[in-house]
Structure 1
Amino acid sequence: MTVHFVGAGPGAPDLLTLRAVELLRRTPVCVYAGSLVPAEVLAHCPPDARLVDTAHLTLDAIIDQLAAAHAAGHDVVRLHSGDPSLYSAVAEQARRLRALDIPFRMVPGVPAFAAAAAALDTELTVPAVTQSVVLTRVSTVSTPLPSGERLVDFARTGALLAVHLGAHRITEVVAEVIGVLGGDCPAAVVAFASQPGERVLRAPLERIAADTVAAGITKTAVIFIGRSLAAEEFPDSYLYSAARERKWRSS
Protein backbone atom coordinates (compact mmCIF):
# COMPACT_ATOMS: atom_id res chain seq x y z
CA MET A 1 0.00 0.00 0.00
CA THR A 2 1.24 3.50 -0.82
CA VAL A 3 -0.04 7.00 -0.13
CA HIS A 4 0.43 9.14 -3.23
CA PHE A 5 0.58 12.87 -2.48
CA VAL A 6 -0.67 14.19 -5.81
CA GLY A 7 -0.58 17.80 -7.01
CA ALA A 8 -3.97 18.58 -8.55
CA GLY A 9 -2.66 21.75 -10.18
CA PRO A 10 -4.05 25.29 -10.01
CA GLY A 11 -7.68 24.40 -10.69
CA ALA A 12 -8.19 23.69 -14.39
CA PRO A 13 -9.01 19.97 -14.67
CA ASP A 14 -7.02 19.65 -17.90
CA LEU A 15 -3.84 20.75 -16.14
CA LEU A 16 -3.64 17.46 -14.24
CA THR A 17 -0.58 15.43 -15.16
CA LEU A 18 -1.00 12.10 -16.93
CA ARG A 19 0.51 10.41 -13.88
CA ALA A 20 -2.08 12.02 -11.62
CA VAL A 21 -4.94 10.86 -13.84
CA GLU A 22 -3.59 7.32 -13.97
CA LEU A 23 -3.33 7.15 -10.19
CA LEU A 24 -6.83 8.55 -9.71
CA ARG A 25 -8.26 5.97 -12.10
CA ARG A 26 -6.81 2.97 -10.30
CA THR A 27 -6.74 4.01 -6.63
CA PRO A 28 -9.64 2.89 -4.42
CA VAL A 29 -9.33 5.74 -1.87
CA CYS A 30 -9.03 9.46 -2.61
CA VAL A 31 -8.49 11.93 0.23
CA TYR A 32 -8.89 15.47 -1.07
CA ALA A 33 -9.32 19.11 -0.08
CA GLY A 34 -12.93 19.75 -1.07
CA SER A 35 -12.66 23.52 -1.08
CA LEU A 36 -9.71 23.49 -3.50
CA VAL A 37 -10.07 20.48 -5.79
CA PRO A 38 -12.77 20.75 -8.51
CA ALA A 39 -15.32 18.00 -8.97
CA GLU A 40 -14.07 17.37 -12.52
CA VAL A 41 -10.80 16.10 -11.07
CA LEU A 42 -12.61 13.60 -8.86
CA ALA A 43 -14.48 12.32 -11.90
CA HIS A 44 -11.35 10.34 -12.79
CA CYS A 45 -11.82 8.17 -9.68
CA PRO A 46 -13.43 4.72 -10.04
CA PRO A 47 -17.20 4.73 -9.45
CA ASP A 48 -16.78 2.69 -6.27
CA ALA A 49 -13.84 4.68 -4.89
CA ARG A 50 -14.04 5.96 -1.33
CA LEU A 51 -13.84 9.78 -1.40
CA VAL A 52 -12.88 11.63 1.77
CA ASP A 53 -13.18 15.42 1.91
CA THR A 54 -10.63 16.89 4.34
CA ALA A 55 -12.13 20.39 4.41
CA HIS A 56 -13.21 20.04 8.03
CA LEU A 57 -10.73 17.41 9.24
CA THR A 58 -7.82 17.94 11.59
CA LEU A 59 -4.36 16.59 10.83
CA ASP A 60 -4.94 13.71 13.23
CA ALA A 61 -8.22 12.81 11.51
CA ILE A 62 -6.55 12.89 8.08
CA ILE A 63 -3.77 10.59 9.26
CA ASP A 64 -6.40 8.27 10.72
CA GLN A 65 -7.97 8.01 7.26
CA LEU A 66 -4.63 7.21 5.64
CA ALA A 67 -3.76 4.68 8.34
CA ALA A 68 -7.15 2.97 7.97
CA ALA A 69 -6.59 2.61 4.23
CA HIS A 70 -3.12 1.22 4.91
CA ALA A 71 -4.55 -1.33 7.33
CA ALA A 72 -7.04 -2.42 4.66
CA GLY A 73 -4.26 -2.73 2.07
CA HIS A 74 -5.56 0.09 -0.14
CA ASP A 75 -3.50 2.60 -2.07
CA VAL A 76 -4.51 6.22 -1.46
CA VAL A 77 -4.38 9.35 -3.56
CA ARG A 78 -3.98 12.33 -1.26
CA LEU A 79 -4.94 15.24 -3.50
CA HIS A 80 -3.53 18.71 -2.85
CA SER A 81 -4.09 21.80 -4.95
CA GLY A 82 -1.11 23.13 -6.89
CA ASP A 83 2.13 21.27 -6.31
CA PRO A 84 2.94 19.32 -3.10
CA SER A 85 6.32 21.03 -2.79
CA LEU A 86 4.82 24.46 -2.03
CA TYR A 87 2.50 25.50 0.82
CA SER A 88 0.71 22.16 0.78
CA ALA A 89 1.01 21.08 4.44
CA VAL A 90 2.45 17.80 3.16
CA ALA A 91 5.57 17.90 5.36
CA GLU A 92 3.71 17.23 8.61
CA GLN A 93 1.64 14.46 7.02
CA ALA A 94 4.81 12.83 5.68
CA ARG A 95 6.39 13.04 9.13
CA ARG A 96 3.42 11.21 10.65
CA LEU A 97 3.45 8.55 7.95
CA ARG A 98 7.16 7.89 8.47
CA ALA A 99 6.52 7.40 12.18
CA LEU A 100 3.78 4.90 11.33
CA ASP A 101 5.97 3.18 8.72
CA ILE A 102 3.41 3.89 5.98
CA PRO A 103 5.07 4.31 2.56
CA PHE A 104 4.32 7.39 0.46
CA ARG A 105 5.40 9.06 -2.78
CA MET A 106 5.15 12.59 -4.17
CA VAL A 107 3.60 13.34 -7.56
CA PRO A 108 4.18 16.90 -8.81
CA GLY A 109 1.48 19.19 -10.12
CA VAL A 110 1.38 22.55 -11.90
CA PRO A 111 2.09 25.16 -9.19
CA ALA A 112 -0.05 28.26 -8.81
CA PHE A 113 2.76 30.66 -9.66
CA ALA A 114 3.40 28.88 -12.98
CA ALA A 115 -0.28 29.02 -13.93
CA ALA A 116 -0.38 32.69 -12.94
CA ALA A 117 2.70 33.47 -15.05
CA ALA A 118 1.04 31.73 -17.99
CA ALA A 119 -2.02 33.95 -17.52
CA LEU A 120 0.32 36.93 -17.89
CA ASP A 121 1.91 35.45 -21.03
CA THR A 122 5.20 36.22 -19.31
CA GLU A 123 8.53 34.53 -18.71
CA LEU A 124 9.53 35.43 -15.17
CA THR A 125 13.28 35.11 -15.80
CA VAL A 126 14.49 37.52 -18.48
CA PRO A 127 18.15 37.71 -19.60
CA ALA A 128 20.13 40.53 -17.93
CA VAL A 129 17.00 41.69 -16.05
CA THR A 130 16.00 38.97 -13.60
CA GLN A 131 17.30 35.42 -13.34
CA SER A 132 15.88 34.54 -9.93
CA VAL A 133 12.37 34.12 -8.56
CA VAL A 134 11.55 34.31 -4.86
CA LEU A 135 8.51 32.22 -3.94
CA THR A 136 7.19 33.45 -0.63
CA ARG A 137 3.95 34.15 1.20
CA VAL A 138 2.29 36.48 3.66
CA SER A 139 1.74 35.33 7.23
CA THR A 140 -1.78 35.84 8.58
CA VAL A 141 -3.89 32.98 9.96
CA SER A 142 -1.00 30.60 9.34
CA THR A 143 2.42 29.62 10.64
CA PRO A 144 4.59 32.74 11.09
CA LEU A 145 7.41 33.22 8.60
CA PRO A 146 10.89 32.41 9.93
CA SER A 147 13.03 35.34 11.01
CA GLY A 148 15.09 36.68 8.15
CA GLU A 149 12.45 36.00 5.50
CA ARG A 150 11.24 39.56 5.10
CA LEU A 151 9.81 40.80 1.81
CA VAL A 152 11.95 43.92 1.95
CA ASP A 153 15.10 41.79 2.15
CA PHE A 154 13.99 39.66 -0.79
CA ALA A 155 13.22 42.85 -2.74
CA ARG A 156 16.79 44.07 -2.26
CA THR A 157 18.10 41.07 -4.20
CA GLY A 158 16.41 42.27 -7.40
CA ALA A 159 14.70 38.90 -7.85
CA LEU A 160 11.16 38.65 -9.17
CA LEU A 161 8.84 38.31 -6.16
CA ALA A 162 5.97 35.83 -6.34
CA VAL A 163 3.90 36.34 -3.20
CA HIS A 164 1.30 33.72 -2.34
CA LEU A 165 -1.63 34.01 0.08
CA GLY A 166 -1.31 37.77 0.33
CA ALA A 167 -4.01 39.42 -1.81
CA HIS A 168 -6.01 40.45 1.27
CA ARG A 169 -2.92 42.23 2.60
CA ILE A 170 -1.61 43.69 -0.63
CA THR A 171 -1.49 47.22 0.78
CA GLU A 172 0.99 46.03 3.41
CA VAL A 173 2.94 44.02 0.83
CA VAL A 174 3.38 47.10 -1.35
CA ALA A 175 4.29 49.30 1.62
CA GLU A 176 7.07 46.89 2.60
CA VAL A 177 8.86 46.87 -0.75
CA ILE A 178 8.04 50.11 -2.56
CA GLY A 179 10.86 52.00 -0.85
CA VAL A 180 13.35 49.55 -2.32
CA LEU A 181 11.82 48.90 -5.75
CA GLY A 182 10.21 52.25 -6.52
CA GLY A 183 6.64 53.10 -7.39
CA ASP A 184 7.22 52.50 -11.10
CA CYS A 185 8.25 48.87 -10.61
CA PRO A 186 5.94 46.59 -12.63
CA ALA A 187 3.51 44.47 -10.64
CA ALA A 188 0.64 42.10 -11.33
CA VAL A 189 -2.01 40.15 -9.48
CA VAL A 190 -3.49 36.95 -10.91
CA ALA A 191 -6.48 35.46 -9.11
CA PHE A 192 -7.95 31.99 -9.74
CA ALA A 193 -5.30 31.24 -12.37
CA SER A 194 -6.48 28.73 -15.01
CA GLN A 195 -10.00 28.67 -13.55
CA PRO A 196 -13.23 30.08 -15.08
CA GLY A 197 -13.10 33.10 -12.76
CA GLU A 198 -9.50 34.00 -13.60
CA ARG A 199 -8.67 37.70 -13.06
CA VAL A 200 -5.51 39.45 -14.23
CA LEU A 201 -4.40 42.90 -13.08
CA ARG A 202 -1.27 44.74 -14.20
CA ALA A 203 -0.14 48.07 -12.80
CA PRO A 204 2.89 49.90 -11.43
CA LEU A 205 3.69 49.01 -7.83
CA GLU A 206 2.34 52.36 -6.63
CA ARG A 207 -1.11 51.53 -8.05
CA ILE A 208 -1.48 47.75 -7.84
CA ALA A 209 -2.84 47.69 -4.28
CA ALA A 210 -5.63 50.15 -5.04
CA ASP A 211 -6.54 48.29 -8.22
CA THR A 212 -6.64 44.96 -6.37
CA VAL A 213 -8.86 46.34 -3.61
CA ALA A 214 -11.16 47.95 -6.18
CA ALA A 215 -11.44 44.62 -8.02
CA GLY A 216 -12.44 42.86 -4.80
CA ILE A 217 -9.63 40.32 -5.06
CA THR A 218 -8.84 38.93 -1.61
CA LYS A 219 -7.87 35.27 -2.05
CA THR A 220 -6.59 32.53 -4.37
CA ALA A 221 -4.17 34.96 -5.98
CA VAL A 222 -0.47 35.38 -6.66
CA ILE A 223 1.18 38.81 -6.48
CA PHE A 224 4.13 39.36 -8.81
CA ILE A 225 6.55 42.26 -8.35
CA GLY A 226 9.62 42.80 -10.49
CA ARG A 227 11.21 44.41 -13.52
CA SER A 228 10.99 41.29 -15.69
CA LEU A 229 7.20 41.67 -15.87
CA ALA A 230 7.50 44.54 -18.34
CA ALA A 231 11.02 44.14 -19.71
CA GLU A 232 11.45 45.02 -23.39
CA GLU A 233 15.10 45.99 -23.76
CA PHE A 234 17.17 42.90 -23.01
CA PRO A 235 19.68 40.72 -24.88
CA ASP A 236 18.64 37.48 -26.51
CA SER A 237 19.29 34.38 -24.46
CA TYR A 238 22.67 32.74 -25.01
CA LEU A 239 20.82 29.42 -25.42
CA TYR A 240 19.95 30.13 -29.07
CA SER A 241 22.55 32.76 -29.88
CA ALA A 242 24.93 32.70 -32.83
CA ALA A 243 27.82 32.98 -30.36
CA ARG A 244 26.80 29.69 -28.75
CA GLU A 245 26.49 28.02 -32.15
CA ARG A 246 30.00 29.15 -33.13
CA LYS A 247 31.39 27.89 -29.82
CA TRP A 248 29.67 24.53 -30.28
CA ARG A 249 31.05 24.13 -33.82
CA SER A 250 34.58 25.11 -32.75
CA SER A 251 34.57 22.57 -29.93
Structure 2
Amino acid sequence: MVNFVGAGSGAVDLITVRGQKLLSEADVIIYAGSLVNPELLEYKKEGCEVHNSAKMTLEEVIEVILKAEKENKMTVRLHTGDPSIYGAIREQMDVLDKHNVEYKVCPGVSSFCGAASALNLEYTLPDVSQTVIITRMVGRTSVPEKEEISKLAAHNATMVVFLSTGLLEKLQERLVVGGYKENTTAAIVYKATWDDEKVVRCTVSTLAESAKKNGITKTALIIVGDVLSSEYSRSDLYNPKFTTEFRKGIE
Protein backbone atom coordinates (compact mmCIF):
# COMPACT_ATOMS: atom_id res chain seq x y z
CA MET A 1 0.00 0.00 0.00
CA VAL A 2 1.25 3.48 -0.90
CA ASN A 3 -0.02 6.65 0.77
CA PHE A 4 0.67 9.98 -0.91
CA VAL A 5 0.71 12.42 2.01
CA GLY A 6 0.68 16.20 1.97
CA ALA A 7 3.29 17.42 4.44
CA GLY A 8 1.69 20.84 4.77
CA SER A 9 3.09 24.26 4.04
CA GLY A 10 6.11 24.08 6.32
CA ALA A 11 5.32 24.22 10.03
CA VAL A 12 5.52 20.72 11.51
CA ASP A 13 2.17 21.01 13.29
CA LEU A 14 0.36 21.85 10.04
CA ILE A 15 0.46 18.29 8.78
CA THR A 16 -2.99 16.72 9.13
CA VAL A 17 -3.76 14.30 11.94
CA ARG A 18 -4.24 11.58 9.32
CA GLY A 19 -0.93 12.44 7.67
CA GLN A 20 0.92 12.27 10.99
CA LYS A 21 -0.64 8.90 11.76
CA LEU A 22 0.37 7.50 8.38
CA LEU A 23 3.94 8.75 8.88
CA SER A 24 4.13 7.01 12.25
CA GLU A 25 2.91 3.74 10.70
CA ALA A 26 5.06 3.77 7.55
CA ASP A 27 7.67 1.11 6.91
CA VAL A 28 9.19 3.20 4.12
CA ILE A 29 9.11 7.01 3.71
CA ILE A 30 10.09 8.75 0.48
CA TYR A 31 10.08 12.49 1.14
CA ALA A 32 10.67 15.56 -1.02
CA GLY A 33 13.79 16.65 0.81
CA SER A 34 14.21 19.95 -0.99
CA LEU A 35 10.94 21.34 0.43
CA VAL A 36 9.49 19.14 3.18
CA ASN A 37 10.39 20.10 6.75
CA PRO A 38 12.82 17.35 7.90
CA GLU A 39 11.45 17.61 11.45
CA LEU A 40 8.42 15.64 10.21
CA LEU A 41 10.65 12.58 10.02
CA GLU A 42 10.70 12.56 13.82
CA TYR A 43 7.23 10.97 13.60
CA LYS A 44 8.65 7.86 11.94
CA LYS A 45 8.80 4.58 13.81
CA GLU A 46 12.00 2.77 14.70
CA GLY A 47 13.39 0.84 11.78
CA CYS A 48 11.57 2.89 9.14
CA GLU A 49 13.49 3.14 5.86
CA VAL A 50 13.84 6.76 4.64
CA HIS A 51 14.67 8.05 1.15
CA ASN A 52 15.17 11.65 0.01
CA SER A 53 13.52 12.00 -3.41
CA ALA A 54 15.38 15.26 -4.14
CA LYS A 55 18.24 13.01 -5.23
CA MET A 56 16.09 10.44 -7.04
CA THR A 57 14.47 10.00 -10.44
CA LEU A 58 10.90 8.81 -10.95
CA GLU A 59 12.24 5.38 -11.87
CA GLU A 60 14.24 5.18 -8.64
CA VAL A 61 11.22 6.22 -6.57
CA ILE A 62 9.11 3.52 -8.20
CA GLU A 63 11.87 0.95 -7.66
CA VAL A 64 11.83 1.65 -3.91
CA ILE A 65 8.03 1.41 -3.81
CA LEU A 66 7.89 -1.86 -5.73
CA LYS A 67 10.54 -3.38 -3.46
CA ALA A 68 8.48 -2.35 -0.42
CA GLU A 69 5.36 -3.89 -1.99
CA LYS A 70 7.12 -7.21 -2.50
CA GLU A 71 8.06 -7.14 1.18
CA ASN A 72 4.46 -6.28 2.17
CA LYS A 73 5.49 -2.91 3.57
CA MET A 74 3.51 0.34 3.68
CA THR A 75 5.09 3.31 1.92
CA VAL A 76 4.43 6.98 2.57
CA ARG A 77 5.31 9.25 -0.33
CA LEU A 78 5.61 12.58 1.49
CA HIS A 79 5.06 15.63 -0.71
CA THR A 80 5.26 19.30 0.21
CA GLY A 81 2.04 21.25 0.76
CA ASP A 82 -0.86 19.45 -0.86
CA PRO A 83 0.19 16.74 -3.34
CA SER A 84 -2.37 17.84 -5.92
CA ILE A 85 -0.59 21.15 -6.63
CA TYR A 86 2.70 20.82 -8.52
CA GLY A 87 3.25 17.49 -6.79
CA ALA A 88 4.02 15.35 -9.86
CA ILE A 89 1.88 12.57 -8.38
CA ARG A 90 -0.06 11.61 -11.50
CA GLU A 91 3.00 10.17 -13.21
CA GLN A 92 3.70 8.05 -10.13
CA MET A 93 0.10 6.83 -9.95
CA ASP A 94 0.09 5.85 -13.63
CA VAL A 95 3.12 3.62 -13.13
CA LEU A 96 1.67 2.12 -9.94
CA ASP A 97 -1.55 1.34 -11.85
CA LYS A 98 0.48 -0.64 -14.38
CA HIS A 99 1.94 -2.68 -11.54
CA ASN A 100 -1.46 -3.07 -9.81
CA VAL A 101 -0.19 -1.30 -6.69
CA GLU A 102 -2.91 0.18 -4.48
CA TYR A 103 -2.56 3.79 -3.32
CA LYS A 104 -4.45 6.56 -1.56
CA VAL A 105 -3.96 10.32 -1.17
CA CYS A 106 -3.97 12.22 2.11
CA PRO A 107 -4.47 15.94 1.42
CA GLY A 108 -2.34 18.63 3.01
CA VAL A 109 -2.29 22.36 3.69
CA SER A 110 -0.96 24.04 0.55
CA SER A 111 1.56 26.85 0.79
CA PHE A 112 -0.94 29.16 -0.91
CA CYS A 113 -3.12 28.71 2.20
CA GLY A 114 -0.08 29.29 4.37
CA ALA A 115 0.70 32.49 2.48
CA ALA A 116 -2.84 33.77 3.06
CA SER A 117 -2.46 33.16 6.77
CA ALA A 118 0.87 35.01 6.79
CA LEU A 119 -0.86 37.98 5.17
CA ASN A 120 -4.09 37.70 7.21
CA LEU A 121 -5.69 37.64 3.79
CA GLU A 122 -9.00 36.48 2.36
CA TYR A 123 -8.46 35.65 -1.31
CA THR A 124 -12.15 36.06 -2.23
CA LEU A 125 -13.66 39.37 -1.20
CA PRO A 126 -17.20 40.36 -2.30
CA ASP A 127 -17.16 42.81 -5.23
CA VAL A 128 -13.37 42.61 -5.46
CA SER A 129 -12.49 39.08 -6.55
CA GLN A 130 -14.30 35.76 -6.38
CA THR A 131 -11.66 33.84 -8.28
CA VAL A 132 -8.19 32.60 -7.35
CA ILE A 133 -5.80 31.73 -10.18
CA ILE A 134 -2.97 29.40 -9.19
CA THR A 135 -0.26 29.36 -11.82
CA ARG A 136 3.44 29.65 -12.59
CA MET A 137 5.77 31.34 -15.04
CA VAL A 138 7.31 29.52 -17.96
CA GLY A 139 10.77 28.38 -16.94
CA ARG A 140 12.60 25.12 -17.43
CA THR A 141 9.13 23.57 -17.19
CA SER A 142 6.77 24.62 -19.96
CA VAL A 143 3.30 26.11 -19.51
CA PRO A 144 0.46 25.69 -22.06
CA GLU A 145 0.26 28.76 -24.33
CA LYS A 146 -3.38 29.33 -23.36
CA GLU A 147 -2.22 29.75 -19.74
CA GLU A 148 0.52 32.28 -20.40
CA ILE A 149 0.60 34.77 -17.50
CA SER A 150 -0.60 37.79 -19.47
CA LYS A 151 -3.69 35.89 -20.65
CA LEU A 152 -4.60 34.95 -17.09
CA ALA A 153 -3.85 38.48 -15.89
CA ALA A 154 -6.59 39.81 -18.15
CA HIS A 155 -9.13 38.63 -15.56
CA ASN A 156 -7.65 40.88 -12.85
CA ALA A 157 -8.59 38.18 -10.36
CA THR A 158 -6.54 37.20 -7.32
CA MET A 159 -3.43 35.44 -8.57
CA VAL A 160 -1.03 33.16 -6.69
CA VAL A 161 2.17 32.44 -8.59
CA PHE A 162 4.26 29.42 -7.66
CA LEU A 163 7.80 28.49 -8.72
CA SER A 164 8.63 31.88 -10.22
CA THR A 165 10.73 33.81 -7.71
CA GLY A 166 13.73 33.78 -10.03
CA LEU A 167 11.68 35.25 -12.88
CA LEU A 168 10.16 38.32 -11.25
CA GLU A 169 11.26 40.93 -13.80
CA LYS A 170 9.60 38.94 -16.56
CA LEU A 171 6.61 38.18 -14.34
CA GLN A 172 5.85 41.81 -13.55
CA GLU A 173 6.16 42.69 -17.23
CA ARG A 174 3.67 39.99 -18.26
CA LEU A 175 1.25 40.96 -15.49
CA VAL A 176 1.14 44.55 -16.76
CA VAL A 177 0.83 43.46 -20.39
CA GLY A 178 -2.13 41.32 -19.33
CA GLY A 179 -4.02 44.09 -17.59
CA TYR A 180 -2.88 44.58 -14.00
CA LYS A 181 -1.93 48.19 -13.27
CA GLU A 182 1.67 48.78 -12.20
CA ASN A 183 0.45 49.94 -8.78
CA THR A 184 -1.72 46.85 -8.20
CA THR A 185 -0.92 45.54 -4.75
CA ALA A 186 1.23 42.44 -4.49
CA ALA A 187 3.11 40.44 -1.88
CA ILE A 188 6.02 38.05 -1.71
CA VAL A 189 5.76 35.38 0.97
CA TYR A 190 8.99 33.49 1.59
CA LYS A 191 8.68 30.04 3.23
CA ALA A 192 5.12 30.51 4.45
CA THR A 193 4.55 29.08 7.98
CA TRP A 194 8.22 28.13 8.46
CA ASP A 195 10.14 29.62 11.38
CA ASP A 196 12.05 31.89 8.98
CA GLU A 197 8.95 33.06 7.12
CA LYS A 198 9.24 36.52 5.57
CA VAL A 199 6.47 38.71 4.15
CA VAL A 200 7.20 41.56 1.75
CA ARG A 201 4.36 43.79 0.58
CA CYS A 202 4.87 45.68 -2.67
CA THR A 203 3.24 46.41 -6.02
CA VAL A 204 3.34 44.65 -9.37
CA SER A 205 5.97 47.06 -10.67
CA THR A 206 8.27 46.56 -7.64
CA LEU A 207 8.19 42.76 -7.35
CA ALA A 208 11.73 42.16 -8.61
CA GLU A 209 13.18 45.12 -6.73
CA SER A 210 11.48 44.09 -3.46
CA ALA A 211 12.69 40.50 -3.70
CA LYS A 212 16.26 41.63 -4.41
CA LYS A 213 16.21 44.12 -1.53
CA ASN A 214 15.11 41.36 0.86
CA GLY A 215 17.44 38.67 -0.47
CA ILE A 216 14.62 36.40 -1.66
CA THR A 217 15.64 34.23 -4.61
CA LYS A 218 13.55 31.06 -4.19
CA THR A 219 10.95 29.23 -2.08
CA ALA A 220 8.45 32.08 -2.19
CA LEU A 221 4.93 32.66 -3.44
CA ILE A 222 3.83 35.77 -5.29
CA ILE A 223 0.32 37.06 -4.56
CA VAL A 224 -1.21 39.70 -6.81
CA GLY A 225 -4.57 41.44 -6.69
CA ASP A 226 -6.83 44.08 -5.25
CA VAL A 227 -7.81 41.81 -2.34
CA LEU A 228 -4.56 42.94 -0.74
CA SER A 229 -5.75 46.53 -0.50
CA SER A 230 -9.28 47.28 -1.74
CA GLU A 231 -12.46 48.12 0.05
CA TYR A 232 -15.06 45.38 -0.26
CA SER A 233 -18.74 44.72 0.26
CA ARG A 234 -20.10 43.01 3.34
CA SER A 235 -20.96 39.33 2.91
CA ASP A 236 -24.65 38.67 2.30
CA LEU A 237 -24.45 35.43 4.24
CA TYR A 238 -24.15 37.21 7.60
CA ASN A 239 -26.26 40.22 6.70
CA PRO A 240 -29.32 40.37 9.03
CA LYS A 241 -31.52 41.21 6.02
CA PHE A 242 -30.42 38.15 4.07
CA THR A 243 -32.60 35.02 4.30
CA THR A 244 -30.85 31.64 4.28
CA GLU A 245 -31.93 28.03 4.77
CA PHE A 246 -31.17 28.42 8.47
CA ARG A 247 -32.24 31.99 9.25
CA LYS A 248 -34.99 34.35 8.10
CA GLY A 249 -33.78 37.83 7.24
CA ILE A 250 -35.12 40.96 8.93
CA GLU A 251 -37.46 42.87 6.63
Global fold match (TM > 0.5): yes
Alignment partner, residue 207 of structure 1: 206
Query: How far 1:153 moved relative to its partner?
Result: 1.1
CA contact (8 A) 2:237 2:244 kept: no
TM-score normalised according to structure 2 size: 0.95
Query: How far 1:35 moved relative to its partner?
Result: 2.0
CA deviation string 1:80-118 (max 9, x = no partner): 011011001111001110111101111101101110111
Alpha-carbon RMSD = 1.4
Alignment partner, residue 82 of structure 1: 81
1:96-107 equivalences under 5 Å are 96-107=95-106
CA contact (8 A) 2:115 2:189 kept: yes
1:183-202 equivalences under 5 Å are 183-202=182-201
**Equivalent-residue separation in structure 1 for 2:55 and 2:167 (angstroms):** 25
State the AA in 2 paired with 1:242: P
State the AA in 1 paired with 2:27: P
1:19-168 equivalences under 5 Å are 19-142=18-141, 144-168=142-166
CA contact (8 A) 2:185 2:228 kept: yes
Query: How far 1:243 moved relative to its partner?
Result: 2.2
**Equivalent-residue separation in structure 2 for 1:14 and 1:208 (angstroms):** 31
Query: How far 1:149 moved relative to its partner?
Result: 0.5
SS at match of 1:23: helix
Alignment partner, residue 181 of structure 1: 180
State the AA in 1 paired with 2:102: P
Unaligned runs of 5+ in 2: none
The size of the alignment, in residue pairs, is: 247
CA deviation string 1:158-210 (max 9, x = no partner): 21110000111111100001241111111011011111221111112122221
Runs of 4+ in structure 1 over 6 Å off: none
Of the structure 1 ranges 25-34 and 89-98, higher mean CA displacement relative to structure 2 is found in: 25-34
State the AA in 1 paired with 2:55: H
Unaligned runs of 5+ in 1: none
State the AA in 2 paired with 1:125: T
CA contact (8 A) 2:3 2:105 kept: yes
SS at match of 1:241: coil
CA deviation string 1:105-162 (max 9, x = no partner): 11101101110111011111101100000000122222x1112001111111121110
**Equivalent-residue separation in structure 2 for 1:38 and 1:130 (angstroms):** 33
1:219-230 equivalences under 5 Å are 219-230=218-229
SS at match of 2:150: helix
**Equivalent-residue separation in structure 2 for 1:193 and 1:186 (angstroms):** 19
**Equivalent-residue separation in structure 2 for 1:193 and 1:245 (angstroms):** 38
Identity %: 34
**Equivalent-residue separation in structure 2 for 1:65 and 1:191 (angstroms):** 32
Q: Is 1:15 equivalent to 2:1 in the alignment?
A: no
